[in-house]
Amino acid sequence: MSSVDVPVALLGYGTVGAAVHRLLIESAEDIERATGHRLRVVKALVRDLDKERGFALDSDILTTDVADVVHAEDVALVAEVMGGVDPTSDYVVDLLSAGKHVVTANKQLIARQAGDLFAVAAKAGVQLRFEASVCAAIPVIKVLRESLVVSHVHRVLGIVNGTTNFILTKMEAGHDYEAALAEAQTLGYAEADPSEDVGGDDAAAKMAILATIAFGSRVTLADVQYEGITEITTGHIQAARELGMSVRLVGAATIVEDKVDVRVGPALVTSTHPLAAVDGAFNAVMLQGDAIREITLEGPGAGGIETASAVVADMVSIVGTTGTGFLQDDPCWRSLERLDPGRLRSPFFLRVEVDDRAGVLARIAERLADHDVSVARLVQHQRDAGAELYIVTHESYTGAVSDALVEIADLPETHGKPSALPVISDRGIAKA
C-alpha cells in the first residue's frame, strides 16, 4: 500500500522547530510504517529569512507571513513551536478556525487560554494537542488522557522544571545559588534571563495543565499559588541534608473534599521518596489515584530534541486519529471549586533563628500549639549570634503554620523572618 503524503507546517524554526523538521525526515520510514503517512514540511514561519538555521531547509519553505500558513490549502496540520502568547494566540486561533489541526509545545498558551482554544477547535472539528507543553519527552498527558481515563487521579506531584532541579542538585554538591545558576546557563539549561524558571512561572503553567487534565476541571495559571527557588540558601540545603531530606521545587495538584488546590514551591523531600532521587535537569511526575495507587514517570524534561519528539508524537497521533474524534475534545467535563489555600494540610519544616537563652523554645512551642501545630522533630544548632532551630511539624493546615510563624517572627527573641517549607514523605513524618 502506498503511503499518504501529508504536507505540514511549522510556526517557528528555532531549536525545537529545526529538531522537529529533522525528526520528520530522519524518522520518515518509522512514521510511515506506523501510520501509513509520510509527514513533509512545506511551510515554516520565521522572523528572519536570512538567519542561519540549525537544520537546513529549502528557502521556498520559509515565510515571514503567517497568512501563507493559514491559507495554505494543502496544509491540514501545523506544529506551533514559536512560543509566547502574543501574537501566537491569534495565530493558533486563525489556524484552528481555518480547519487545521494544531500541535503546540507552548505551556503558557495552554495554561492561560486552553478553554478558548478548545472551543475554537471543537467548532472547526479539528484537534488541538499539547503533549510537549509539559515535561518534554515524558508522555504524561497521554498517560492521563488515555491510560488513566477511569483511574480517578486525585493527586499529581511533580518536578517539572529541569533548570531549577539542576540548580538545586548543584547546591547539594556544594555550589552556592549564583554559581549553580551560572553553570546552568553555560550548559544551556537556563536562559540568559532565567526568571521564568527560577521564579516558578514555568512550573506553575505546567502544573495548571496537568491539574486540568488529571481532574477534568479547568485550572489556569491564575489559579496556581507559586514561588521559585530564589530564596533558597545553602542553609536550607544543609538543614535538609541533616534531616535526611533534599530540597526540590515541587508542583502539587490535589483534590481535597471535591475542591482543587494547585501550588508550586520549594519543599523538603525525604530521602526515601521517589522525587528525592531526581537529579540534574530531569523531570518526574507522580500520579496517585483510586485504581492505580501510584505511578511515577521520569525522564528528560527539557531540550530541543526531547521537546521535538513529543511534538512529532502528537503529529503522528493526529494523522492516525483524524475523523475519529478520539481524545480531540476539551478534557474538562466539570467545574470544581478552589480550595482555600490555608486549608491544605502538610507536614512542614520550619527554620528559625533565635536568642540562645532559657524559655525561648517554650515560647515558640506555645505559639505553634496555639494554632494546633505539633512538633515531630527538633534540631538546635549554636550560632555566634544565638541558635538556629530546625523544626519538623506533624501534618498541619497551611494557614495555621503561616499564622503561627507571624507570631513567632514578632517575638523579641527571634532574629529575622522564619521560613517554612512543606515536607513530602512516603512514610509519614514519625518514621522519617
Q: Do residues 105 and 310 make contact, with C-beta atoms less than 8 angstroms apart?
A: yes
Residue 377 is predicted with a pLDDT of 94
Give the chain's largest Cα–Cα span.
Answer: 86
Alpha-carbon gap, residue 279 to 168, rounded angstroms: 9
Instruction: Give the pLDDT score at 328.
Output: 62
Query: Is the Cβ–Cβ distance between 140 and 285 less than 8 Å?
Result: yes
Residue 52 confidence class, pLDDT cut points 50, 70, 90: confident
Neighbours of 372 (CB within 10 A): 12
**Do 269 and 214 share a structural domain?**
yes
Query: Does residue 330 belong to any structural domain of this protein?
Result: no
Q: Are residues 201 and 249 in the same domain?
A: yes
Residues with Cβ within 8 Å of 366's Cβ and at least 6 positions away in sequence, in order, are none
Nearest to 39 by CA among 305, 325, 314, 326: 314
Share of the chain above pLDDT 70, in %: 97
Look at the block and give the residue holding cell 521556498.
60
Same structural domain, 130 and 179: no
Let me know whether 153 and 295 are in one domain: yes
**pLDDT tens by residue, 177-236:** 999 999 999 998 888 999 999 999 999 999 999 999 999 999 999 999 999 999 999 999
pLDDT at residue number 130: 95
Domain boundary among 271, 300, 329: 300
Whether residue 100 sits in one domain with residue 167: no
358 CB-near residues (< 8 Å, 6+ apart): none
Say which CATH number the domain at 235 has: 3.30.360.10
- For residues 318 and 311, give the distance between their C-alpha atoms in angstroms, rounded to a whole number: 11
Residue 71, judged by CB atoms within 10 A of its CB (0-12, 13-18, 19+), counts as: exposed
Is residue 143 one of the residues assigned to a domain?
no
Neighbours of 155 (CB within 10 A): 17
The answer to whether residue 144 is domain-embedded is no
- Tell me the CATH number at 396: 3.30.70.260
Is 206 one of the annotated active-site residues of the chain? yes
pLDDT, residue 35, reads 87
203/162 Cα distance (integer angstroms) = 9
- In this structure, the answer to whether residues 170 and 248 fall within a common structural domain is yes
Check 43, 100, 107, 206 and give the catalytic one. 206
- Same domain, residue pair 106 and 47: yes
Q: Within a domain: residue 336?
A: no
Specify the DSSP element, H or E, that contains 123.
helix 107-124
The answer on 165 and 82 residing in a single domain is no
Instruction: Give me the pLDDT at residue 266, please.
Output: 98
pLDDT of residue 151: 84
Question: How would residue 113 be classed by pLDDT, with cut points 50, 70 and 90?
Answer: very high
Q: Residue 116 falls within a domain, yes or no?
A: yes
Domain of 404?
341-424
Residue 281 lies in a domain: yes
- 159, 204: one domain: yes
| Rounded average pLDDT over 272-287 | 95
Angle at 266 between CA 166 and CA 263, to 5 degrees: 115
372 within a domain of the structure (yes/no) = yes
- Total domains in the chain come to 3
Query: What pLDDT is recorded for position 418?
Result: 95
pLDDT digits (tens, 9 = 90+) for 363-378: 999 999 999 999 999 9
pLDDT at residue number 303: 75
Tell whether 295 and 309 lie within a shared domain: no
In a domain, 328, yes or no: no
**Same structural domain, 166 and 90:** no
Residue scoring higher pLDDT (172 or 59) = 172
pLDDT given at position 428: 53
Last residue in a domain, options 247, 268, 300: 300
The rounded mean pLDDT for the chain is: 92
The DSSP output letter for 334 is B
pLDDT 10s digits, 81-94 = 999 999 999 999 99
What CATH number has the domain bearing residue 53?
3.40.50.720
Q: Comparing C-alpha atoms, which of 246, 158, 168 is closest to residue 204?
A: 158
- 378 and 391 within one domain: yes
Instruction: Give the model's pLDDT for residue 132.
Output: 93
Phi, psi (rounded to 5 degrees) for 112: -95, -35
Last residue of a domain, one of 291, 321, 351: 321
CA distance 308 to 239: 39
